[in-house]
Every structure is written in structure tokens, then in C-alpha cells.
Chain A
Amino acid sequence: MNKIFIIIKREYLNRVTKKSFLILTLLTPLLFAGIMFLPAYLATLDNKEEHKVAVLDRSSLFLGELEDSKSTKFHFIPEEEYENVKNSIGSNEFYALLDIPQSIVSTNRVVVYSNKQINLDVKNHIDWQLEQKLENQKRAELVSRLGVPDLEDQLQATKTRITVDTLKLTEDGEGKKGSTEIAMGIGYAAGFLIYIFVFMYGGMVMRGVLEEKQTRIVEVIISSAKPVQLMLGKIIGLAAVGLTQFLIWVLLMGGIFIGAKSMFVSDEALQQMAESQSVMVQSNPMASEMMNNFEPNEFEKIIAQIEGINFPQIIGMFLIFFILGYLLYSSLMAAIAAAVDTEEDMNQFMLPVTIPLIAAIIILANVIKNPEGQLAFWASHIPFTSPIIMMVRIPFGVPWYELLISVAILALSTYGAIWIAAKIYRTGILMYGKKPSWKEIGKWLTYKS
């Protein structure tokens, strides 16, 4: 059996057969889902708390008109109680006191008293209720003053809402459903995933190399195998672990997507959707505005848009950029770990390698807003940032020749990085004692084997 294969096998099985790998691989998607859904869930929990708001309506415009929400209940009080309620706010049953002045029609101002900052939910609800009622009253007054027949209906008819359906033109001139938001989401996720993978698995390579050096097993192994075999075996073995993890995630996500599709697109599910929408409308005025324009088949649209995305291309390019980017960084990380003796020294040498990675993440934030810009172009061609930035751009559509050039530059750089790393690794792995300087490491490149 080929030695590099034996080494790859050990690295692979050593990780994959660990319980921690399986648990982490299965839990991470759940964890992500949790991170996304937990705040929403917590928000609904919070909404169940009732806040009573005392209202003194000096304008007499709103008496009995203000609608309660799930979390906000209005309670009108007579003027005699005003001082009393105001002084004991917080310690009595009321959460806040809303003071509507007589001049509200002209000033558009009200005051809310409370002993602590009132929460956004309550404030939004008060805002929304007052705005709506006042607007309605003003309009009703205007309509009756002008005396134009059917004016109310005509005004209603002027309300306009635009839905932008984005169609991406393909080679054969056919329009494909696309969504900027979904492209952004996927680009962001793909870029970030590469960043995480490179950091996580590059870090594993680095710690593995240092472990081998520190435990001195390396001396035993390289009397059986060449140093470059040991280095590449470790790097490739861990890449296989990463790809296994990725594959499991793709299958899980695919399963979830298909599951979600069959759930949401069925009539029953739509019914449920509608119910949950109405709940949301009650609790959140912002959401209600959105939901009012949300046709019941919107979910089908999203599904169609997701299906319109070229997943084979994205996954294929992800694999190419992940593998090349990972090889580029992890070989340099392996070289660094081989050159030093301790973790502290390693962290010091790590800085020049981590800076481009972190820069890529900073650039990512910009590129996602403008995937066609100069910055996006250059960052997706420079090898140290291209694995991340190009992945962000791909869902928006990138010409094939740009992809080709970017991959070619990255592949060449990766080849160079491995060549340099192998030289440093070979010498460094057998050097113990003092920490080398950059200059010395440079000299190692010229050593013969």
C-alpha cells in the first residue's frame, strides 16, 4: 500500500471514528437552526407578557378607538385620576401612561410616561394605533368636507405595491426566477463556510503537525516515509474529513428543504401559515404591513426561487474553492507548525496567514452589497481571498472565463505554497530548540534534501 495513503487513512479514520466528530457534524446544523430560530421564539415568549397602558385622551378623538394587541392593553382613565396614576406608575397596575394632548391633530405629538424605558413592542403599537386612527379621521373629515362621491374608494384604489420579480437570463434566453436576497444569503453562507472550514481544518492540520513534532513521533515516521508524504497525508486526510462533514451537511440540508417544501406547499400547511400570520400581525404591526402584501403562494415563489438557483454549480465551485483554499492555507499552516516548538511561537507566526483570511471576511461584507464592483473583482482573483470572495459572487452569476482565471491563479498559488511549505516543513520538523527567525526559515528554502 502506498505510504501517503496509509497516512491519509490514519488521519481520516482517527477523526471520523471519534464520537465527537459525529456529534458535532449532526449538531452543527441544528445549532445553526437554533441560532436562527431561538431569538424569534424568545420574542414570542416575551410577547405573552401583558402591558397595561393608561390613556388620558384630552382630545377625545380616540376614546374606545384604540385596539389592544396581545401584549399591549389600553385602559382609558378620567382626568381626575391622571396625577394619581402618573405618580405611582410602575408600582400600580400600569406599565406606562399615554398622555394625548388636545392639540394632537396639529402637533402630531404625544407623551408616554413610564418609570423605565418602554419596550419597542409597546411603543410600536402605540405609534401604529395613533397614526392609523388619526389618519383615518383626518381622511374621513377631508372626504366629507370635499363632498366628492366615492372619494374614499378612489383613494383606496391609489394604494400601490410593486413586486419585483427578478429573472436571470440564461444562455438560451429563457428567464430564470432569481432573488437578490436568496443569492445574497447563499453567497454569504458559502463564503463564510469556506472561511470556517479553512480556519477549522487548517487549525487541525497545524495542531496535528505540532503534536507530531512535540511528541517526537515524527522522527520515527520519517524514517519510514518522506516528510512531504507525512505533510500531504495529514493535509489530504483532514480535507477528506472536512468533505465528509460537508457532504453530511448537504444531505441534511437537502432533506430539510424537501421536507419543508412538502410541508409548506400543501394546503394544510398554507392554512397553518395563514393562522400563524394572523398571530404575527397581532403582535407586530411591522410584520402585519409585510404580511398584508404577502400572497398565500409567496412561499411557493420562494421555493421556486430556491429551485432556480444553480446548486450543482454552486456546490461544485464550493468544492473546488474549498479544496484549493484549504490546501493553500493549510500547507502554510503546516509549515509554520513544523518550524516552531511551542504553541505560543506558533500563534506569533500565524498572524501573516490569518490576516488575509480575516481581510477576506471584511471584504465579504462589502462585496455582498456590490458583487460586480472593482473590489469584488480583484478580491475574487487574488488567491488568498478568492476562495471566499468568489463564492460570494457566484450566486449572483460570474462569467465562466472569470471563474476559470480565478481558479487557475488559485491553483498555481496553491501549488507554489505547497512547494514552499514542503521545504520549510522538511527542515523545520527536525529542528528543536530555539525559535527560528523569518530569515532562517527563508534559508531553509535553499537547502537540499
Chain B
Amino acid sequence: MSFFEVQNVSKSYAAHRALTDVSINIEQGQVFGLLGPNGAGKTTLIRIINQITAPDSGKVFFDGHNLRANDIYQIGYLPEERGLYKKMKVGEQALYLAQLKGLSRRDALKKLKYWFEKFEIQAWWDKKLQELSKGMQQKVQFICTVLHDPKLLIFDEPFSGFDPINANLLKQEILNLRENGATIIFSTHNMSSVEEICDHIALINKSKKILDGNIFDVKAQYKTETFDVVYKGDFEKINHILGADFKILDHTERPHFNEVTIKHLNGTSNNDLLMKIAPLAEIVSFSERIPSMNEVFIRVVEDNNK
């Protein structure tokens, strides 16, 4: 059994169907990308995991048992729409949230000290939240999320509101948390960050899961058997030898070498193409076009919406 499992979960609000028979498995130590267009049902799923709402049907398993009330102490959640008490002092506020997550005051103080030193923000302790910039507030909120050393972390758009330097710092922290054994659910619309930190993704559209898998497998699944070849030689010869299995999508002639984009129509192996071209031209570079997560996302969702 996986560390965290959602089995056949459905949820409706009045006439609106938020989740239909969704199942996901998350292994311990994974960074799991939960993707989907706005309104697809991601937030509902996250709320079910946080026990903010209960599913109409289906089951959720956490660390080998049915998800139960006490598990919230093992979960840290950074919501997309987030905020803290504006007029409350940063330190008091962090202590309060930590105590709600089951930490004793003493433990909370100790851990807060560690994090405040790590982020070099000790000077903020007695400041009111409203005196901090938005990015600073986000840092405080991040600390509040991870303070109780949760086994499962849920980050919903964690990088919004951060400048590139702080976003990078945060990314490092998230990866550190994984190193230390935390399992992470990562929900975002920023596909490049998905490629950077996710191991596994699930894509939800219109309340249903439409794609699930290891990030490399998913990308491989959506590759189009298209190759970019840079070579020195005669284009006509290559064009002639390729035959019906290949289609030339594009070609450009340059002073020293030429470029050609070829689609393999019923591809068996990349080497087939290489071996055909190699005798006729000197190959400078040969690469297969792998779709980015961005392209996969758009294609899958658009296909699904048709």
C-alpha cells in the first residue's frame, strides 16, 4: 500500500460535481504534482485530504490506515488563497497556529527559533503582520505550514508572490523537506516548476482524473516521434531515402549545415532513423522532441474537453 491513497472519491455540491471517482496513489518521499485547470476539482480534493470536507463516497488512506481526525497533526497545508491575522504579532501568530497543530508551546518556540534563524527573520518576531511585505508574509506562512514536521505537505501555488530569489530559496526548502522524508503534494499551474521538482503527476479535469503517472512516462507518452537533425550533406538524398515511414515537417539550409525536422509515422526505434541518415550525411546533432509539461497539459486538457 502506498503512503497516501485516494480511492474512488466522489464529491458534489448541490448541482455541481466537484470530483468523480478520483483515485491517486502517492509513495513516501514523492513530490506529487496535482495539476488541472481552474475549477477542475483540485481544491476540493485538497480539502478532502485536509478533512475540511468529507467525500460523498470513496476512501482516503494515510500511512496505512483510514484517514482519521488525528492525522491533521501529520499534515501541513499551505493554501493558495492564504493569509494571517494582520494585526497580530508574527511570533504570537506562529505560536498560535503551531499549537493548533498539536505542538506544545515549548516545542513550538524551539522550532520557531530554528526556522526564524534559518530564514534570518528573528527581527520580525514582535512585528505586526501588516508591517511586513507580501513576500515576507509568505515566508512566515511557509514556516507555519512546515513547523510541526508534517509527514504530508500540501503546497497550493507556493511560489506565487515570491521574487525569483526567494522562490528559489523556497524550492530548495521543499526539496530539503523531501530529503528528510516528507511526502509532498504540489498543486500549481506553473508547469516549469512541475518539471523541476515533481516526480509524479495527476491531472484532473472537469472533476475526473484524466492523466496519472511518473513525469518521464507521462512526457514519453505524449511525445510525437519527431526528431530534429542537424547535418552536413545533401537534403535531396535524405529526402529520397526516408520513404513512406517518415515525413519531413520542415527543413532549413544554412551555409555550413542543414537542419531537418522529421516525424516518424510508425516509429519502432530512434535508431532506424539514424541508420538511414548516417550513410548519407555527417550528423552534427540528433535530438528527439520531448513535449514540455506545458504542452502535455494543454494537449491533454484540450483533447479531454472535445
List A residues at the B interface (Cβ < 8 Å). Answer: 1, 3, 6-7, 10, 14, 211-212, 214-217, 219-225, 227, 430, 432, 443, 447-449
Contact = CB atoms under 8 A, between A and B. Distances in A.
- Among A211, A222, A227, A448, which residue has the most Cβ atoms of chain B within 10 A? A222
The 7 lowest CB-CB distance pairs between A and B, nearest first, are A215-B83, A224-B100, A216-B83, A223-B50, A219-B79, A223-B77, A216-B81
Interface of B: 13-14, 47, 50-54, 56, 72, 75, 77, 79, 81-86, 88, 96-97, 99-101, 104, 141, 144
Given A215-B85, A215-B86, A443 B99 contact: no
Contacts of B52: 219, 222-223, 227, 430
A216 B79 contact: yes
A220 B79 contact: yes
7 contacts: A6-B96, A6-B99, A217-B83, A223-B75, A223-B79, A227-B52, A447-B13
A445 to B, nearest CB: 12
A217 B84 contact: yes
Contacts, number: 65
Contact of A448 (B54, B72, B77, B104): B54
The main secondary structure of chain B at its interface with chain A is loop
B48 to A, nearest CB: 11
Contacts of A3: 100
A222 B75 CA distance: 12
Given A223-B52, A443-B14, A10 B82 contact: no
Contacts of B81: 216, 219, 432
Nearest to B103: A1
A225 B56 CA distance: 21
Nearest to B105: A1
Contacts of A217: 82-85
Contacts of A430: 47, 52-53
Given A212-B85, A221-B100, A223-B52, 11 more contacts: A1-B99, A7-B100, A211-B86, A215-B85, A217-B83, A217-B84, A217-B85, A223-B50, A224-B97, A430-B53, A447-B13
B145 to A, nearest CB: 8
A219 B50 CA distance: 10
B83 A6 contact: no
B96 A10 contact: yes
B54 A449 contact: yes
Contacts of A214: 83
Given A220-B77, A430-B52, A443-B14, A14 B88 contact: yes
Nearest to A215: B83
A3 B104 CA distance: 12
A286 B54 CA distance: 74
A430 B72 CA distance: 18
